[in-house]
Structure 1
């Protein structure tokens, strides 16, 4: 059996960079085992499989080369950008069904925005020294008065506030230890950040390490940018309605990405959030099962 896979770069910054995801349309007949085989052959951090849904406009299943995950930000943006280019989006307010429930998707021109849940926070003081050692940093490298915190808006990420971009660039990730901590805390990965940015009028520069899911480093992570925006709003008191998050600039080689996060609040409390960006189709691959 031959399966066509579109490679779509999501969260591109302008028309460049971004994070590539595989997108397979009309995947109703594929089994979970076949989807995992396809994702492994595609070899990207995530591949999305699109099927019919009785609950939403589309059903999406997300697979890394190693396992299925509940949500994936950049693969969602890649999928809906591609569907939009084919004229298959029924309206500007559309939706996806996942194994963890249904979520709203908003289309704004070339950009797609995905719904995330209100944030949940978990402090992890007992693991701080292990966290620091896993990145080759010390407590002195953190923003003064701030600590790493697990934030969940659908998936859990460890948000790590660093003083400057130099420290972020020079991190020495010990992937085996990051994987061990991620397994213990049920994380997708670590999301260290700096408030220093590559370009003006942006709010943070980030990196993402997700070895538990076969991702040594990722260039754009929409499901992590949401938790970071909530952390900046609630923990750092940077009160805004919209945040611009850079990622991928500090990778080798760089793959610049830009994620927009918009918060919906009631009396100052975050009720939900939308994370979005633009996707561009780069190529098509054929996988043989």
Structure 2
């Protein structure tokens, strides 16, 4: 049996940068073991598998090179960009079933994909000295921001860490120690950010590290961008409607642009959206 995978760059900026993902359509009959084999063969941080669903438009599962994860933002974007490009979907609103829940996706006329994410759950926080050694930065450096280190999930639990301006590219991860820490605390990884200057079109520059699930560093992370947007809405930009633009991947030489919006009322956050563009890289045939 030969499986065809579409290779897609998600959250690209002017058709460059972005984060590559694999997309396998008509994956209904594939076992989890076969999906993992395919994901390993492709070698990207995540590969998405699209199947039929009796209640919503699609069921989508996500595999890293080591395991299945509940959700992946950039792979979701890759899925719907592929379905649109292949003429299988028109612009409009669709629903995907994931292990993180039923999540809506909108395809715009120009091909921009906007994904609903799960509403945020705030799962606790850490002290500066808990993370400083894992990031290769001094505790006093992290404390300069005055911002907390929170664990937030809008699909996957990430540790959100602010660093002072100019320190993002100085982070040096201890991968073994970070993996052990994340496993111990039941989180996926660290999403570090530095706020941009007020006159910039960007809100923040980001780096994401998830060696526990086989991702030393990722150039665009949709789920963590939703978590960061909720973090910023809680601690920095405290208002009922926020629209952010994040840059990620600069340190990897493939800068990506991710949009994120958070809508709140007196009861809290009621909608989280993450979006961007994708471009087709090619296809890969995999023999099982």
Query: Which category describes the TM-score, using the shorter chain as reference length?
Result: over 0.9
Q: Identify the residue that residue 273 of structure 2 maps to in structure 1.
A: 274
Please state if 1:93 is matched with 2:76.
Answer: no
Q: Which has the larger displacement, 169-178 or 268-277?
A: 268-277
Please state if 1:250 is matched with 2:271.
Answer: no
Q: Spell out, residue by residue over 1:199-253, the C-alpha distance to the aligned partner (whole angstroms, 9 max, x if none).
A: 92110000000001100000000000001011111022354521101100122xx
Q: Identify the residue that residue 217 of structure 1 maps to in structure 2.
A: 217
Q: Identify the residue that residue 84 of structure 1 maps to in structure 2.
A: 84
Distance 2:39 2:286 in 1: 9
Q: Secondary structure at the match of 1:77?
A: helix
Q: Identify the residue that residue 147 of structure 2 maps to in structure 1.
A: 146
> Gaps spanning 5+ residues in structure 2: where?
none
Q: Identify the residue that residue 264 of structure 1 maps to in structure 2.
A: 263
What is the 5 A alignment of 1:96-107? 96-107=96-107
Q: Secondary structure at the match of 1:255?
A: coil
Q: Secondary structure at the match of 2:250?
A: coil
> Gaps spanning 5+ residues in structure 1: where?
none
Q: Secondary structure at the match of 2:79?
A: helix
Q: Secondary structure at the match of 1:74?
A: helix
Distance 1:123 1:161, change over 3 A: same
Q: Spell out, residue by residue over 1:246-282, the C-alpha distance to the aligned partner (whole angstroms, 9 max, x if none).
A: 100122xx11101111122224831121111111110
What is the aligned length?
A: 285
Q: Identify the residue that residue 75 of structure 1 maps to in structure 2.
A: 75
Q: TM-score, normalised by structure 1?
A: 0.94
2:84–2:91 contact (8 Å) kept in structure 1: no
Q: Offset at 1:68?
A: 0.4
Distance 1:248 1:238, change over 3 A: farther
Q: TM-score, normalised by structure 2?
A: 0.94
Distance 1:112 1:275, change over 3 A: same
Q: Identify the residue that residue 161 of structure 1 maps to in structure 2.
A: 162
Q: Spell out, residue by residue over 1:154-177, the C-alpha distance to the aligned partner (whole angstroms, 9 max, x if none).
A: 21000001111x211011100011
2:204–2:246 contact (8 Å) kept in structure 1: yes
1:23–1:49 contact (8 Å) kept in structure 2: yes
Q: Identify the residue that residue 61 of structure 1 maps to in structure 2.
A: 61
Q: Secondary structure at the match of 2:202?
A: coil
Q: Secondary structure at the match of 1:250?
A: helix
Q: Identify the residue that residue 31 of structure 1 maps to in structure 2.
A: 31
